[in-house]
Structure 1
């Protein structure tokens, strides 16, 4: 997997992607994340990349030509036209499912970081394949979203994490939230680790974690749980576990109502 990020602030992106898990994965050759300074592709001495918007209004707009020159350089370097994403509050919302889609469908991605009041629409129309948003809010630039997309996609590339379970059991993989996690000591501030996690019985631990995942999702993200496909539960034990989780969730909801 290779990701090229077009940005006005490459140092801020490199500061994250060249360290820790992503940094080690690049050193070992599993992924490549490169940043490209858009200002290097301007044709004026001031290295200006923005100008006033046609039609008036506040702020400035990133010009199409520097972006295009930077994008074209990456395409020429690779000898292909990678799937190009503009990080924008106007795009489809980024989710774990979108990250899986990008990882499974593409070996190369170009991520374009906008700034100011936006990007000249002509660049988007000519070079961008899709727009992706982090959610219903606005940031000062596209670097944080670009880092988020790169991280979420690259961590699923084989070799980046020790094994698939590192991400397949996490929140949002199958429309469920992850179960609660605990570490040493066994008791902290009067709160004890659930006994089942100390039992050493792997089957009981797995069942507890799955049930807690169901309950947490029903409580915190009922919209997400509504997308969970119960038909994928092929065994009687799995279906029984889900039923137990629903019953415990209803009892917890009742108890909370009574307390209030």
Structure 2
């Protein structure tokens, strides 16, 4: 495969900046750190005049250093998580492969990357529907009956709406998870109090599953196995705090239930 070429230092900086934005978008949308680092390295290394590319990625920042005609170029980009968006990750992966293969110019690459960054998540009705189905399915899996399935579907749907609403505010993952868990627990308490056919524990267990940081922890473990120990430990730590927020949200409502019941 023939390598790409740049004419001056400014173009080299533009290529490195484009690669960094690509890696930044990958991490923002839930990709593994090592995947983002590898993407940046490949995009920079595909240019003949850029050498000695070094990338250090974290869940909160990316650092890149590269050589162009004996001059060192160093860049840094901050990262703010935007949750999980697998469609964007897939589009970014396809984009990076086209760029490395020389199938897209630098100018067009910037436009395509911008269009990917503006891709919308799934529609609100679809998000509510599948959050409800996910929650209800886990309620059955953990031993609930079809009454629990139906009510957990309702609770999960409300959770999906709640998550979409809180995502519009500059709120960190801890209070966002805590609020979502409290909504679940309150609705489960109301349902179990209104009908003896409903099991509060099955409703809560099923409904909290969309909040459980399974992908977060899995990505962290994959980063550790790839040698990115710092990134992996940061991911696992975040997963622990998400689990803590879930436990606190459920525990708070259960304590209120005991006080009311007592």
- TM-score normalized by the length of structure 1: 0.23
| Structure having greater relative contact order (Cα 8 Å, sep ≥ 6) | 1
- Greater helix share, 1 or 2? 2
Structure showing the higher strand proportion among its residues? 1
If the length of structure 2 is used for normalisation, what is the TM-score? 0.23
